[in-house]
Amino acid sequence: MKEEDVLKFLAAGTHLGGTNLDFQMEQYIYKRKSDGIYTINLKRTWEKLLLAARAIVAIENPADVGVTSSRNTGQRAVLKFAAATGATPIAGRFTPGAFTNQIQAAFPEPRLPVVTDPRADHQPLTEASYLNLPTIALCNTDSPLRYVDIAIPCNNKGAHSVGLMWWMLAREVLRMLGTISREHPWEVMPDLYFYRDPEEIEKEEQAAAEKAVTKEEFQGEWTAPAPEFTATQPEVADWSEGVQVPSVPIQQFPTEDWSAQPATEDWSAAPTAQATEWVGTPLSGLKLLFHRRNRMEIRLTENKQFLKIKNK
């Protein structure tokens, strides 16, 4: 076991068991923490993992290995393991009588069942005991080991721990078969074996879609085509010399001595004759208007008389 594998185990929490302990799992316990959680010995976990991989490799036909997980946290890992090694997966509810009822259409006859949780997957273990089949199980500190032949001590409650254990088992099986080399790391990441909540997937997809929309809008604002200026601008060397402003003649006023002018007359004096003429001007205009009005009335009267004579 390399240091990288130990770090993966610690990061996924594979060494963390539960607060309860089965008497048959005492041999795999390293110590008990102050909060009551039992710690699993990772050295024993690695040894039992290699033993389980040797048992799986010993089966000539990979399809005769049946991997089962009724819990959601292990269904994706089981399907990935089956795709990598060629085993037969049973993800979801295990139908009672699947190993013993020969009347059903799809009657699997596995030679080596592998289960994720002995407590949740008790039905395939019980039916395997009827057929005298060896079994492999991922066991926690409180898991019952009845009908279990190879127990791999680990944390089978956490999604990351279960996914990592199936990934480790698949990698060791492929290494023993010679499919992949031990010198080079496996290109498949453990993340593909982890269970993901559908709600979290929807939230991530919505966030990614919103981010893509905002990114397109942001890029659209900056990538808009700039207006092309085709008109040639005149080159002006010196702006002060480029525009000639016409000179405007300045009107010169005679400079007089204001103190030399005569004193202002008395404002209370009577108005002059010029003022009288300005006052009389509006009256003459009114006389002209009255004169024109009288002429128009005379013309209207003559027209009326002419029309009366014509009608007669």
Separation of CA 136 from chain center: 41
Task: Answer whether residue 247 is part of any domain.
Answer: no
Tell me what pLDDT residue 4 has.
Answer: 87
**How many domains does the structure of the chain reveal?**
1
Where in the sequence is the domain holding 129, given as residue range(s)?
3-206
Most confident of 116-120, 297-301, 303-307: 116-120
Tell me what pLDDT residue 265 has.
Answer: 55
What whole-number distance in Å separates Cα of residue 137 and Cα of residue 133? 13
What whole-number distance in Å separates Cα of residue 46 and Cα of residue 53? 11
Task: Answer whether residue 229 is part of any domain.
Answer: no
Task: Answer whether residue 104 is part of any domain.
Answer: yes
Q: Tens digits of per-residue pLDDT, 132-168?
A: 999 999 999 999 999 999 999 999 988 899 999 999 9
Q: Tens digits of per-residue pLDDT, 2-13?
A: 888 899 899 999
What CATH number has the domain bearing residue 162? 3.40.50.10490
What whole-number distance in Å separates Cα of residue 166 and Cα of residue 198? 21
- Of all residues in the chain, the percent with pLDDT exceeding 70 is 75
Most confident of 75-84, 194-203, 218-227: 75-84
Tell me what pLDDT residue 211 has.
Answer: 83
pLDDT at 306 over 80: no
Task: Answer whether residue 36 is part of any domain.
Answer: yes
Task: Answer whether residue 28 is part of any domain.
Answer: yes
Task: Answer whether residue 276 is part of any domain.
Answer: no
- For 225-252, b/e burial (b = at least 16 CB within 10 A) is eeeeeeeeeeeeeeeeeeeeeeeeeeee
More confident residue, 105 or 265: 105
pLDDT at 279 over 60: no
Task: Answer whether residue 236 is part of any domain.
Answer: no
> Which pTM was predicted?
0.64
pLDDT at 122 over 50: yes
Average pLDDT of the residues in 109-119: 92
Range in 78-82, 92-96, 282-286, 289-293 with the lowest mean pLDDT? 282-286
User: For the chain, what is the mean pLDDT?
Assistant: 81
- Of all residues in the chain, the percent with pLDDT exceeding 90 is 41
Task: Answer whether residue 40 is part of any domain.
Answer: yes
Q: What's the distance, Cα to Cα, between the start and end of the chain in Å?
A: 140
**In which band, very low, low, confident or very high, does the pLDDT at 278 lie, cut at 50, 70 and 90?**
very low
